[in-house]
Amino acid sequence: MNFHNCWLKKRSFPYPSTVREAAEAELSNLGVPFKIYINGNGDGFTISKNGNEYQISGGETGALYAAFRLGVLLNNKTDFTQINEAPSYENRIINHWDNFNGNIERGYSGKSLFFDDNEIDYDENRMRHYARMLASVGLNAVAINNVNVSLPAVKLITGEKLPRLAKLAEIFKPYGVRLILSINYASPVMLGELDTADPCDPRVADWWKKRFDIIYSYIPNLLGVLVKADSENQPGPFSYGRDHADGANLFAKALAPHGGYVFWRCFVYNCKQNWRDTKTDRPKFPYDNFMPLDGRFDENVVLQIKNGPYDFQIREPVSPLLGAMKQTTQAVEFQIAQEYTGQQIDLCFLPTLWREVLDTGFKVKHIAAVTNTGNDFNWTGNYLAAANLYGYGRLAWDSSLSPESIAAEWCGLMFEDADARAAVKKMLLDSREIYENYTTPLGMGWFVTPHTHYGPDPLGYEFSLWGTYHRADREAVGIDRSSRGTGYTRQYPPEVAAVYDNIDTCPEELLLFFHRVAYNHVLKNGKTLIQYLYDSHFKGAEGAERLLKAWEALEGRVPGEIYKNVLERLHKQVKNAYEWRDVFNTFFYRLTGESDGLGRLIYK
Ligand code: GCW
């Protein structure tokens, strides 16, 4: 199949057999004189310019990353004499939520790159390009299957499937990319080999030890496994009266002889909540479940924590668990796939959001994100959604980068025309705020259509089991999560909790996450809450129209294929924004009876 290569110029292979060969090939491809000095085996590198010649030094993977970096610098005509770089995170991971039947959970760019019809099925040539594309932004690990592992995907770790996986690992290897497998906590039971998955039962420990011996005999450089346990109906240690340290350490011990990690997800909460119960508060679960276990995890356990305490909403506070466990290794988990942020139809440049999360200053060793790639010819469905994958890779490499510089760099690689570069950069940088404005501003969250998570449905999750409520009534909206309310704020250090606790000091963009606020409450701009909500939705819908206009002005300045692809989606985005504006405003108008202060149309 033919495909477009996002930001990366395609090249034909003799496929490299080592990382060093890959680095040399990429450098030769640039058409400039160069020398490589390999020292050690780290990911960092130095590029020095000596006359016309570029001197690269670093480990093998370092040289590879240097080659790609130099490509970008030359393309964007950046002037420099020496550049030193080393990655901010040791493992820079993407997670595919690909099912064995070829569907992708929360996937918006076609079918799986790895599975079809309950078999491992990949296009080897495309996999080579994928490895190269990931390495070009410094990504070095890929979990290929969904964290929800059901039969037959449970069989991925059996001798029947491992040879094909081993071949994939080999393809990824020259680009420094390592595999991770998502596994079902209760595999020994699911595969019919044991009648228990109790982490403290020696038979279970022994089963996993032998299983990993087999897995590593096929894939010696497997980075490790990813486990979603006791989460959204997946099995886990709770079923055996054990906790998550028992569960994670079971795998850690079996992986240790092979140098593997267990990435253990902290997305653990009660998904059978009763909406009548206003005491239970879903965002409190990750911290409550894991914080008391600090100090009990083996060294090769990595707790993988979603960036917010809820679930990839357009705005949430940073998870209080991140950086709080002083004796536990952690990874932050982002979502590049736009599940709640426009599904690769609406434009929403996520590095803006991730920047804010990273700016809160927590320190973690690894970084992971749910990817937005699938087998669409351009990998991400919407051409502009590739900027999110690129941006994730860049931030995973250098967590100090600004959204502006990432957007500029990506546009420089994607478009020749200077006006197009500037215009798309602006579109990207404006897009998150626009999306937030016409969906759920002020940290309100949810309000989406159940299951699909695209488009508004005011009461869709209001009386559900999922713990996802805004609790709007005639007087007020939002949830009091202060220490006087659900007590969620107590999970932060006292000085942070104090800021969130007080409605006057709480950052306004998170107001409805932390507080239950009356519609006549006056905000910083002097407007009442209800007026702010209306304004935000009118403004957001206008913003979507502006994105469309900005793009229309680029006809003829960007390749026709890209123009058409994005145009189609922007039209849908405008429609979606109108729907959100009208449904949202009408819902609150009907509740409050408050008209818009500016007399704009709100449907009755
Ligand atoms: O946001 C939710 C998604 C689920 C997903 C889950 C998770 C893979 O709606 O589809 O399951 O998060 O992160 O495990």
Place of tokens 């590739």: 386
Q: How close is the Cα of 103 to the center of ligand 1, in Å?
A: 14
Mean pLDDT score, 305-329: 98
Spell out a b/e string for 199-228, using b for 16 or more CB atoms within 10 Å of the CB, else e.
Answer: bebeebbebbeebbeebbebbeebbbbbbb
Indicate the range of 10-14, 23-27, 275-279, 406-410 predicted with least confidence: 10-14
For 425-474, how does the pLDDT look when each residue is reduced to its tens digit (9 = 90+)?
999 999 999 999 999 999 999 999 999 999 999 999 999 999 999 999 99
The SS3 assignment for 408 reads: helix
Mean pLDDT score, 20-28: 96
CA dihedral 314, 137, 305, 291 (to 10 degrees): -130
The reported pLDDT for the residue numbered 381 is 98
- Specify the length of the chain in residues: 604
Q: Phi, psi at residue 91, to the nearest 5°?
A: -110, 130
Mean pLDDT score, 83-112: 98
Looking at ligand 1, which atom is closest to the CA of residue 228?
14
Q: How close is the Cα of 510 to the center of ligand 1, in Å?
A: 23
Residue 559, both tokens: 């390749």
The reported pLDDT for the residue numbered 208 is 98
Question: Quick one: what percent of the chain has pLDDT higher than 70?
Answer: 100
The reported pLDDT for the residue numbered 1 is 62
pLDDT band at 3 (very low <50, low <70, confident <90, very high): confident
Please answer whether residues 334 and 368 qualify as being in contact, where contact means their C-beta atoms are separated by less than 8 angstroms.
yes
Task: Calculate the average pLDDT of the chain.
Answer: 97
Pick from 29, 90, 31, 22: which is nearest to 61 by CA? 22
Q: Rounded to whole angstroms, how far apart are CA atoms 282 and 45?
A: 43
pLDDT band at 10 (very low <50, low <70, confident <90, very high): confident
The reported pLDDT for the residue numbered 572 is 98
pLDDT band at 419 (very low <50, low <70, confident <90, very high): very high
Q: How close is the Cα of 338 to the center of ligand 1, in Å?
A: 12
For 467-502, how does the pLDDT look when each residue is reduced to its tens digit (9 = 90+)?
999 999 999 999 999 999 999 999 999 999 999 999
Place of tokens 């070009």: 136
Tell me whether residue 339 is one of the annotated catalytic residues: yes
The DSSP code sequence of 347-358 is ---THHHHHHHH
Mean pLDDT score, 7-16: 88
The one-letter amino acid code at 510 reads: L
240 CB within 6 A, ligand 1: no
For 326-347, how does the pLDDT look when each residue is reduced to its tens digit (9 = 90+)?
999 999 999 999 999 999 999 9
The one-letter amino acid code at 70 reads: L
Mean pLDDT score, 537-561: 98
For 189-215, how does the pLDDT look when each residue is reduced to its tens digit (9 = 90+)?
999 999 999 999 999 999 999 999 999
Mean pLDDT score, 86-96: 98
Residue 291: C-alpha distances to residues 33, 288, 310, 330, 491 (Å): 53, 6, 16, 12, 9
97 CB within 6 A, ligand 1: yes
Residue among 145, 232, 271, 307 to mutate when testing ligand 1 (max atoms within 8 A of CB)? 232
446 CB within 6 A, ligand 1: no
Place of tokens 């259509």: 449
Pick from 103, 191, 87, 76: which is nearest to 141 by CA? 87
Tell me whether residue 299 is one of the annotated catalytic residues: no
Sign of the Cα pseudo-torsion (319, 226, 125, 14, in order): positive
For 338-377, how does the pLDDT look when each residue is reduced to its tens digit (9 = 90+)?
999 999 999 999 999 999 999 999 999 999 999 999 999 9
Q: How close is the Cα of 384 to the center of ligand 1, in Å?
A: 23
Place of tokens 């309950």: 118
CA dihedral 26, 27, 30, 31 (to 10 degrees): -130
Task: Answer whether residue 2 shows pLDDT above 80.
Answer: no
Residue 419: C-alpha distances to residues 18, 410, 415, 422 (Å): 40, 14, 9, 5
For 265-302, how does the pLDDT look when each residue is reduced to its tens digit (9 = 90+)?
999 999 999 999 999 999 999 999 999 999 999 999 99
Tell me whether residue 356 is one of the annotated catalytic residues: no
For 388-414, how does the pLDDT look when each residue is reduced to its tens digit (9 = 90+)?
999 999 999 999 999 999 999 999 999
Residue 553: C-alpha distances to residues 407, 547, 577 (Å): 19, 10, 20
Active-site pick, 60, 230, 333, 339: 339
